[in-house]
Amino acid sequence: MADTASSSAGGTPAAVTTAEASREVHSTSLGLSNEKLAMWTLLGSECLFFGALISAYLVYYGRYNGLPEISPALFDIPFTSVSTFVLLMSSLGMVLALAAIQRGDDRDFRIWILATAMMGTVFLSGQIYEFTVFVNEGMRLDTSPFAASFYVLTGFHGIHVTVGVLMLITLWSRSMTGNLTSEHSDVVENIGLYWHFVDIVWIVIFTAIYLIPYEQARL
Amino acid sequence: MTEADDPEHTDHPDSSQYIVIGIILAVFTAIEVAISFSAVPTEVAIPSLIVLTVLKFLLVILWFMHLRFDSGWYRRLFAFGLAVALAIYAATISLMLYAGSNRPA
Amino acid sequence: MTAVPADSASQGLRILKRPKAETGLWSWVTTTDHKKIGVMYFLATMFFFVVAGIEALLLRVQLAVPDNNFLSPDLYNQLYTMHGVTMVFFVGIPLGAAFFNYIMPLQIGARDVAFPRLNAFSFWVFVAAGVFMYSGVLLNGLPNGGWFNYAPLSTTVGPDPSGYTLGGGSAELASQVHMGRMLLYSVGLQIAGIATLAAAVNFIVTILNMRAPGMTLMRMPIFVWMTLIVAFLLLFALPVIGIALWQLLFDVRFGAGFFNPSVGGDPMLWEHMFWLFGHPEVYILILPAFGIISEIIPTFSRKPIFGYTAMVFAGIAIGFLGWGVWAHHMFATGMGPVANTAFGLTTMTIAVPTGVKIFNWIGTMWGGKLRLTTPMLFAIGTVAMFTIGGLSGVTHAVVPTNYQQTDSYYVVAHFHYVLFGGLVFGAIGGFYYWYPKVTGRLMNETLGKINFWTLIVGFNLTFGLMHFLGLWGMPRRIDTYASGFGWDTLNLIITVGAFIIAGSILLLVINMAVSVRRGKLAGDDPWDARTLEWMTSSPPKHYNFREIPQISARDELWHRKHAVTEDGAYIRVPAGGAGLVVDHDHESDIHMPDPSFYPALSAVGMPIMGWALFTSGAAMIVMLAVGSIITVGSLFAWAFEPSAEEGH
């Protein structure tokens, strides 16, 4: 980024005496990376995206279309707890992978990035299994607004996880072919931010969509 | 360039701190599941679940996503989106469930 | 400060060669230059503007006389829907993007936007959305539920459950036709949303991170501030409508029942989500025009903008308050007196920062040496017409009055004063103002003045009279009306006014087309202006500035053209004075991003995935697969293609 702008010290009006003018332009206005700033901007927007999905679920929670048995009582909390735990630990794998590539440890990076991708895949498999069980028990997209909002919310989250897994596997394969080194740790960091965001969305979903409705359904 | 007071930090937590955070997150999740399966009365259970969720959320964004250590701009961008989301969706849910003739019978 | 991350390690995976063309069609398809993309946005927007304008003329012909049969009711519904959808999503939003793309990087002294290829991606995805939306002409017809597309009319019920018109008597066929049209709406706007969201992220990062040295936030031109606010509004509003559009899609295609009351769904959810997006959208459309006239008015008043800080904070306040007023579109839906009062109050509050802006524009002109050029006339016209629209808007905030006005032509009059009188007048002012920068030649002033005066007459004739029609009880969205309600004469005059508008727009197009070759040569700074874009050549070189300017003041160029005397007065420095561009050649040192095939290619897959939903079974899966392979494959190839080649 620096090579072109640093050659342009000319064009300075005489009036400028502040220190900022004499400082060489070595980077961006905020001194931050464009890519990371873009990722955080996008994540701010994603809050609105998942917020809309969660709101629809909360509004339609209890609208069972005359089928009260198709309700949060169907949820298999022990099973979902395990997959939640796996996704949470994948975030730990992600930060360990980032720490590894930042200190230039390619071997550890590959182990942790692959572990993270595997944990993401386990979570996705769990979600596919869960959907299959629910459908067999009669809960389909067109059963009730409750069912529709559940599937669309968790489904969109699943698509986010899938995109994340694809990116993680790409990182791993780039590292295996020697194309990803500690110079590119910023790429890993940005994909990591996305991955953690998907995880915090699930933290919210687990409580708001599974635990609390289940707690109430038990009454 | 006056905004450049807070440039990119590199002193992120090291791996051992990450593992500690990971363990805390796991314990919190275990407590959540335990609450859900124990005889804790609902009036206590639901607020505790919400508090635990908020804590987990904060742990991940502040440590794993480095918001605690990075430039304030990232924090502001994310907090802005989160605040708008919380405000407008809380209002929408209340309007849909409780306002005027929309109140469910 | 360039947008070239030197990514030397990403050399694998080259599927397509780096495009080489510097002129001709392919140079435009593959360009990553923000100025070329801005010009393409402008041309595409003008195309859609003409299409939506012709739609409006057809509507006006139908309504010119009572009991008219010029358009069938079904065709009328499609045309009024597409007029709204096109004007909002394919004219209003991308028109902002056209100005942001071309002008904003120049005004902050950047060589390009932060992500040049993402910028090209935004443009091509927007084009793909337009193609998809209008492909209904070859399929089952265009969307017909209004631009707001309220459920359950849009979802389960449809306008024609018995198949009377749409299915020729067959309810099943009618529901097929209906589903196809709603798929166009939901998927088409979804694709357009992806384009706009990418652009919003791009503009935010560019403004925050790519400013020239010394360009602090409070030295940025007002236009750049408005760009930033609009980008944030888009960033947060688009996901809301995005989810509502997905829910609509699942309802019409997969029977989900989100908005179907008969299974416990709630049409109000759509309405809330739509206006949660739709009201910030109003500011998304108008703030770019506010930014444009905030550049024009000081230039032609020969004064700095009055109350810069107040202007900036009024803009930010509009951006914030814009989130708290959406339910004023829904007063008549039975939210109850408490909610209605609350939203009535917030709506009146938002008039305050808007009033601050109007006050400041007038304050800028007050005591200035006015030059009434065409851009200035359009800017003044914007202030005047928008004020009328703003005032009728305040009348909507009064809930009991609103009940009377809802769904009448009064509302049509109001939002056309805001959007045509505000956005379109402001944008045309911007065309006249920046045309010499883009083409190097001035537009014809005489034609420009005729353009302005005919437009202001036609505009007021058309939309001014609609206030009366509305208050006399004429409902909007009706395809015809019976004689004897006292609406006949006004409707005829309104139709005449609409054709005067069309003639005036034709004049604008002719002026633009002719001036490209015949206009007077403009030079770098034809208006004696204040901001950075006038420091570089007209048209600017692809790298914008030979040397990135050092910024020491707001209105940087004005300060470079003037010096302070001992008694504190500003005097003019002879041309070529302090700090104007020094002409020594080191162009070869300037690295710019290279063109790329992938942004345009990745857009191609999206409509294919959309059309897949019109089929079912294996065909649908194959089309979805083909579309996603094209899109995802291009995105992957893009990720591995360095943004610029080494060694040139």
pLDDT of residue C436: 96
CA distances from B25 to A77, A86, A206, B28, C522 (A): 18, 11, 13, 5, 65
Chain A hits for C240, Cβ within 8 Å = 48, 52
Interface touch C548/A64, C-beta < 8 Å? no
DSSP code per residue over C317-347 = HHHHHGGG-GGGGGGGG---HHHHHHHHHHH
Interface touch B99/C273, C-beta < 8 Å? no
CATH of domain A32-217: 1.20.120.80
Q: What are the pLDDT digits (tens) for C456-514?
A: 999 999 999 999 999 999 999 999 999 999 999 999 999 999 999 999 999 999 999 99
Residues 307-336 of C with CB under 8 A from B: 323-324, 327, 334-336
**Interface residue C256 vs chain A (CB under 8 A):** yes
Is residue A95 within 8 Å of A171, Cβ to Cβ?
no
What 8-state DSSP symbol labels residue C136? G
Looking at the partner chain, which of C208, C268, C323 has a beta carbon nearest the beta carbon of B84?
C323
Tell me the domain boundaries of chain A. Answer: 32-217
What 8-state DSSP symbol labels residue C72? -
Measured between alpha carbons, how far is C638 from C647 in angstroms, rounded to an integer?
20
pLDDT of residue C323: 94
Looking at the partner chain, which of C236, C336, C340 has a beta carbon nearest the beta carbon of B81?
C236
pLDDT of residue A201: 97
Is residue C524 within 8 Å of C106, Cβ to Cβ?
no
Average pLDDT for chain C = 90
* pLDDT interval class at C192 (50, 70, 90): very high
CA distances from C84 to C45, C97, C499 (A): 14, 19, 18
User: Would you state the structure tokens that stand for residue C335, as one six-digit string?
Assistant: 């939210």
Is residue C240 within 8 Å of A48, Cβ to Cβ?
yes
pLDDT of residue C593: 80
Interface test with C, best of A24, A41, A65 (most C CBs within 10 A): A41
Minimum mean pLDDT among B21-25, C14-18, C56-60, C439-443: which range? C14-18
Helix (H, G, I), strand (E, B) or coil at C569: coil
Q: What are the pLDDT digits (tens) for C546-568?
A: 888 889 888 889 888 888 777 77
Residues 201-260 of C with CB under 8 A from B: 208, 213-214, 216-217, 232, 235-236, 240
* pLDDT interval class at C570 (50, 70, 90): confident
pLDDT of residue C14: 55
Q: Does residue A138 surpass a pLDDT of 50? A: yes
Q: Does residue C88 surpass a pLDDT of 50? A: yes
Is residue C138 within 8 Å of C261, Cβ to Cβ?
no
| Nearest-neighbour CA in chain C from B98: distance (Å) | 9
pLDDT of residue C582: 47
Which of A51, A146, B105, B92 minimizes the C-alpha distance to C335? B92
Q: Does residue A177 surpass a pLDDT of 70? A: yes
Q: Model pTM? A: 0.92
Sign of CA dihedral C407, C411, C416, C422: negative
CA distances from A44 to A51, A197, C235, C461, C583 (A): 11, 10, 8, 44, 44
Tell me the domain boundaries of chain B. Answer: 13-69, 71-105
CA-angle at B61, arms to B57 and B62, nearest 5°: 110
Task: Compute the average pLDDT of residues A47-62.
Answer: 94
pLDDT of residue A123: 97
Phi, psi of C563 (to 5 degrees): -125, 160
Compute how many other C-beta atoms are within 10 angstroms of the C-beta atom of residue C303. 18
**Interface residue B43 vs chain A (CB under 8 A):** no
Chain B hits for A193, Cβ within 8 Å = 65
Which of C476, C474, C504 minimizes the C-alpha distance to C487? C474
Sign of CA dihedral C84, C85, C86, C91: positive
